[in-house]
Amino acid sequence: MADFHTKTFYGQESSLIITSPAKMVPYIFLSCIKRKDNGTWEHTTEGEGKTVKMSIEEIVCILEVLHRRSANWRGYHVFKDRKTEIYVGWEDETRQLLQVKLGDYIKKVRFPNLNFLTLLLEHILKEKIEFATSGTFESKTKEKIEIDEEAEYGVFAEHITARDGLHIVETTEYGVSVDTIDIKAKIKVESPKALLITLDTEEEFWIPKSCIHSDFDVSKKSKPQKFIVDKWIIEKHQI
């Protein structure tokens, strides 16, 4: 079994690249590049194009779309000042043409590349479940240090709704926050990992508890409370 995987799905104007740097790490890289005016392609090694790191959980979300059990999946990657919206979904109800968006980059995938992409991600997912979630203490400790030097990430599943009989899943992957902001809001609903809060403007949205850096009292749902929260979550909701 190979330790490294990379595959480029070329198009006329844009291409999608799937890279698994090692079977022992719990993530892959998803990249989009464009053809330049001179006919050459952008190079990710030169900082061109758009690249995001995808967790095992996000691979699962993409496969749900590819297996046509979800209509689309939308994710938000936030790390320091870099914010990228990711979208994987069907162009229409025929579910024959897949759209992959990384920020401003868009790549459409159809048969037979659609099947190739599905089989590749299935293989990588199985491989990572076997090798990236097991091993000796020494090897996993060394690997954890190398991963932690890059960034600390968490994944927050925000909401699941339904459209055309299929689920729509939205997640947010967030890095170490450097900016916070004060807000006043009421707690409407609590889940194990998040709060649904309501602002004075009647706007409401889910916020992960890991993004809240102040005390709060769930029992006082009728009273506004002060929250110190990560600034990116407010910007994400355009508040």
Domain ranges of the chain: 5-174, 180-236
Residue 62: φ, ψ to 5°: -65, -40
* pLDDT per residue as tens digits for the range 42-72: 998 888 899 988 889 999 999 999 999 888 8
Task: For the chain, list residues with pLDDT below 70.
Answer: 1-2, 79-82, 135-178, 237-239
Do residues 171 and 57 make contact, with C-beta atoms less than 8 angstroms apart? yes
Q: Which CATH number fits domain 5-174: 2.30.31.10, 2.70.170.10, 1.20.1250.20, 3.40.50.1370?
A: 2.30.31.10
Q: At what angle do helices 56-66 and 113-131 cross, to 10 degrees?
A: 150
Instruction: Please give the Cα distance from 188 to 184 (Å, whole number).
Output: 13
